[in-house]
Amino acid sequence: MEQDRMTFKVINDEGVEVECEVLFTFESEETKKSYMVYTDNTSDESGNTKVYASIYNPEEKEPKLIPIETEKEWNIIEKILEQLQEKVKEGYGEE
């Protein structure tokens, strides 16, 4: 089961190595960039899983995560996350 997970390690702000799990990747038609959405499987104060996103180059053997700095790009990612949440909710309603 575990082999389907795509993971990578990063050094966080405290200098600690953390394993992250890739949730999904996508390329935006609008920005012509590739994005990676991932989690470190920790939760915020409300109990929600923390999710992060970065720009990356899928052509690189070991892609570097590049910070997203524009509000336009964050809006694109938020819209996709909202759509995915709706699909998950719809899926649970059908069972």
Provide DSSP, 3-47: GG--EEEEE-TTS-EEEEEEEEEEE-TTT--EEEEEEEEEE-TTS
Tokens, residue 52: 């992060």
Low-confidence residues in the chain, pLDDT < 70: 1-3, 93-95
pLDDT at 84: 87
pLDDT at 2: 47
Helices and strands (DSSP H and E) totals, the chain = 1, 4
Domain extents in the chain: 2-94
pLDDT at 93: 63
Sheet with 34-43: list strands edge to edge: 7-11, 17-27, 34-43, 49-56
